[in-house]
Copies of this chain bind each other. A is one copy, B any other.
């Protein structure tokens, strides 16, 4: 009688690898993180990586999935705070400020996007995820707009695209230049979101 089945042990291995890979990808970047390092840091050999993932790309995609999940959760929480529009914007701005202050995520995101240029699989998968992020953000925006009875300067889809792009671009620049003023994000968001009140 086995305490843990083979499938369970493999799932544990996979989780360990993702967890360790996440730390390394985020702190050192995609290119600078070798599969050997990931495997050893997790207490395995490179073979373990290849028996759980088709390669480096799929491993990184799995890591990004865990990150995206948390990002969506954070966005939703910020925007569903029980407050008026300004309160929600403030909550979201605070969340964004914290994320952009140490923007290891965006750096990984854009570095991995570069990989997509040579890999159709990565390209299609990333496009799926980005569209998902944009459309769920747009839904949130529409909900807030309906609640608050305001009119947007941009439609929700475009606004969501602008905010995601701005966040990614700002994060990428911020990861180079830590003196860069992160409040730009909140300010821009206010300019776009507040729009002209119709009440």
Which residues of A line the B interface, CB within 8 A?
Answer: 28-32, 107, 110-111, 113-118, 123, 126-127, 130-131, 153-154, 157-158, 161-162, 164-170, 172-173, 175-177, 180-181, 183-184, 187-188, 191-192
Contact = CB atoms under 8 A, between A and B. Distances in A.
A110 B172 contact: yes
This chain: copies in complex: 2
Contact of A165 (B28, B126, B183, B184): B184
A168 B32 CA distance: 23
22 contacts: A28-B117, A28-B118, A29-B118, A30-B114, A31-B31, A31-B115, A32-B118, A107-B114, A110-B111, A111-B111, A113-B173, A114-B114, A117-B175, A127-B177, A131-B177, A161-B170, A161-B184, A164-B173, A165-B170, A168-B172, A169-B170, A188-B188
DSSP class of A's interface residues: helix, strand, loop or mixed? helix
A111 B28 CA distance: 14
Residue of A31, A117, A127, A168 contacting most chain B CB atoms (<10 Å): A117
Given A154-B191, A188-B154, A162 B166 contact: yes
Given A28-B117, A110-B114, A166-B188, 14 more contacts: A29-B118, A31-B114, A113-B172, A116-B176, A123-B176, A130-B177, A158-B183, A161-B184, A162-B170, A162-B188, A165-B166, A165-B172, A168-B169, A169-B172
A115 B31 CA distance: 8
Contacts of A154: 184, 187-188, 191
